[in-house]
Amino acid sequence: MITQLLDVNEQSLKLGASLIKQGELVAFPTETVYGLGADALNGEAVRKIFRAKGRPGDNPLIVHVSSKEGMKELGYWNQSAEDVFNAFMPGPITMVLKKKSLPDEVTAGLDTVGLRYPQHKDAQSFLKLAGAVAAPSANISGKPSPTTAQHVFNDFNGRIPLVLNGGECGVGVESTVISLVDRPMLLRPGGVTLEQLQTVLPDITVHQAVLKNVELDKAASPGMKYKHYAPNAVVILVDGNGEWLYNNACDCGIKTAYYKKSDAALEAKLLFSRLRDADQNQLDLVIFELPANSGMGLSVANRMLRAAAFTVLKQGQSMEIDVKGRKYTLKA
């Protein structure tokens, strides 16, 4: 299959929408990350997303719409949904509601659905033409999410017919996911912060998986199984100053990138590019300083922890890493 990479304009948007109607996959920009879209009402088309990504079948997809009415058609509305919609939508947030009629493929058999109305103008134009679009992040499962059309093309060249290029994503991490089915709960921090949510949902709770590897707590599974956002390089987080660890790695001749803690919104915007660049530049190790767990820092920490398979070093601690079959002991 030839994969077209086209700038967003009237013509490419029409092509994209007609491909969606034909049951094909189209990647499109949003303000968070690029999505890999299929017609949300076509179970056969949605199955193609899981095949293309290598995504586990039990992980539900978000449905993207371009109006409040579009959301109400797909999920059972309540007062919290109304309040969240009015405060944050369109925007980088997804709300999980009890689902109405949708193919089981979209929701992985759950009786709930994640609904999102993106803020990105190109996404809105695309959705107005294409209708409800089910879309995960447009990356091969387990790899960092894509924040440019080129990232998508690198992962899916030859496997999908069209990537719509709308430039670099502004937010850089995925949408905030909240469940409003029962008591409001934050399932994934993202472009809307917990502090912002608390102004509308004062009693919102935070799911323990946000900063912890709960799957590993439950069962003695191999750690790598739950690695997400992972480049080929080893990723280590430092709770403190990473300079020591960086110098130590350089002294050992390990090809390393080191990112100091900085403005959390900027770190969010750059995070996935940094992880992808690590592979492009064939690095062996990436060191990040862990951000504070507040504001966008919580969203960045959530991704970094997964990229690092929850490996966090405090000052003075050491660990053994494996680089191309050689073992090194590094100290932070």
| Chain positions contacting ligand TXA, by CB under 6 A | 30, 32-33, 35, 59-62, 94, 96, 107, 110, 112-114, 116, 135-137, 174-175, 177, 187-188
The CB-of-313 to ligand TXA minimum distance in angstroms stands at: 27
Nearer to ligand TXA, 30 or 66 (CB): 30
C-alpha distance from residue 272 to each of 88, 145, 160, 191, 297 (Å): 24, 6, 22, 14, 15
Nearer to Mg ion, 137 or 256 (CB): 137
Contacts of 264 (CB under 8 A, 6+ apart): 291, 292, 295, 296, 297, 299, 300
- The site partner of 31 among Mg ion, ligand TXA, none (C-beta below 5 to 8 Å per kind) is none
The CB-of-317 to ligand TXA minimum distance in angstroms stands at: 30
- Per CB under 5 A, contacts with Mg ion among 123-142 are 137
Nearer to ligand TXA, 160 or 254 (CB): 160
Measured CA to CA, the distance from residue 48 to residue 134 in angstroms comes to 11
Nearer to ligand TXA, 26 or 96 (CB): 96
Per-residue DSSP letter, 148: S
The CB-of-245 to ligand TXA minimum distance in angstroms stands at: 30
- The site partner of 32 among ligand TXA, Mg ion, none (C-beta below 5 to 8 Å per kind) is ligand TXA
Measured CA to CA, the distance from residue 226 to residue 215 in angstroms comes to 8
- The site partner of 232 among Mg ion, ligand TXA, none (C-beta below 5 to 8 Å per kind) is none
- Per DSSP, the three-state class of 62 is strand
Nearer to ligand TXA, 46 or 285 (CB): 46
- The site partner of 125 among ligand TXA, Mg ion, none (C-beta below 5 to 8 Å per kind) is none
The answer to whether the beta carbons of residues 181 and 97 sit under 8 Å apart is yes
Matching residue, tokens 């034909």: 22
Measured CA to CA, the distance from residue 97 to residue 59 in angstroms comes to 16
